[in-house]
Amino acid sequence: MSLLEVNGLTMKFGSLAANKDVSFGVEEGQIAGLIGPNGSGKTTLFNCVSGVYKPTSGRISFAGTDVTGTAMFKIARMGLTRTFQVVRPLNEMTVIENVLVGAYLRHPDKARAREEAERCIKLCYLDEWKDRPAGAMTIGNKKRLEVARALATSPKMILLDEAVAGLTSTEVNEMVSLIVGLKKDGMTILMVEHIMEAIMPISDKIIVLSGGVKIAEGLPGDISRDKEVIAAYLGEKFSKRLAESEKLKGERR
């Protein structure tokens, strides 16, 4: 049994089906990557899985429990949490106050919650910002704050919606090593990302959406060569770059 199981998920907005009969599983301890063109339904899928939307049809189970249509805070309490693509910190509150919102879900005790919030802030490289207003930070730091706030709920599994987009290359590398570190500590991760250099090397498997439909699922290497995925999303440029790097590798051998 997978930790997260999505079965025949369909989500309609009026006549538009943003997710159409999507099924996949994420195994415990895995990093799974969810990719696809803009508007292909990735965020909608996160919204269904995390309890923001009740799907039109289909089933979602987490750790063996059916969570279809369950409220977001209840799902978070079960150990499944997410970050938002459009970051929305409580701007007037300090960084630690923002993270405490997450920590209180698990630790009603004030001192214990603060300890946990501080641990997550450190983990996300936000120490120097701890007591400063969240609204004054750069987008890169706000993204880290999203992750810190989600981690403070002590999840078993985290959904990251473009946690790397819009960051500088140094920040991308830091976020990637943070994600790899979470996996080493036993976390299960499902991440949406457009930056292939960030998602492909660290994912155990990749799921591809196009027009709301799952068009492929497999190992990153196989997905990078999949003709349908290249046509729908990765594009010729990416496949050429891949072919060139493989040719180089071949020449070096």
What residues make contact with ligand ATP under the rule CB under 6 A? 13, 16, 18, 36, 38-44, 85
Nearer to ligand ATP, 43 or 224 (CB): 43
Q: Which residue has the tokens 């415990």?
A: 28
Residues at the site binding Mg ion, with contacts judged by CB under 5 A: 42-43, 85
Q: Measure the CA–CA gap between 7 and 9, rounded to whole angstroms.
A: 5
CB-closest chain residue to Mg ion: 43
Q: How far is the CB of 100 from ligand ATP (least distance, A)?
A: 29
Q: Which residue has the tokens 């063996």?
A: 64
Q: How far is the CB of 182 from ligand ATP (least distance, A)?
A: 22
Neighbours of 21 (CB within 10 A): 14
Residue 51: contacted member of ligand ATP, Mg ion, none (CB under 5 to 8 Å, by partner type): none
Residue 38: contacted member of Mg ion, ligand ATP, none (CB under 5 to 8 Å, by partner type): ligand ATP
Nearer to ligand ATP, 36 or 140 (CB): 36
Q: How far is the CB of 82 from Mg ion (least distance, A)?
A: 12
Q: Measure the CA–CA gap between 108 and 106, rounded to whole angstroms.
A: 6
Helices 139-151 & 95-103 angle (0-180, nearest 10): 30
Task: Determine which helix (DSSP H) or strand (DSSP E) holds 82, and give its type and residue range.
Answer: strand 80-82
Q: How far is the CB of 40 from ligand ATP (least distance, A)?
A: 4
Q: Measure the CA–CA gap between 182 and 144, rounded to whole angstroms.
A: 14
Amino acid at 104: Y
CA 57 to chain centre: 23
Nearer to ligand ATP, 41 or 140 (CB): 41
Q: How far is the CB of 228 from ligand ATP (least distance, A)?
A: 17
Residue 56: contacted member of ligand ATP, Mg ion, none (CB under 5 to 8 Å, by partner type): none
Q: How far is the CB of 119 from Mg ion (least distance, A)?
A: 29
Angle made by CA atoms 94, 96, 97, in degrees to the nearest 5: 65
Nearer to Mg ion, 42 or 82 (CB): 42
- Strands 57-62 and 4-13 come out as antiparallel
User: Could you tell me the two tokens for 189?
Assistant: 């991760």
Nearer to Mg ion, 42 or 143 (CB): 42
Nearer to Mg ion, 43 or 83 (CB): 43
**Beta-ladder partners of 77:** none
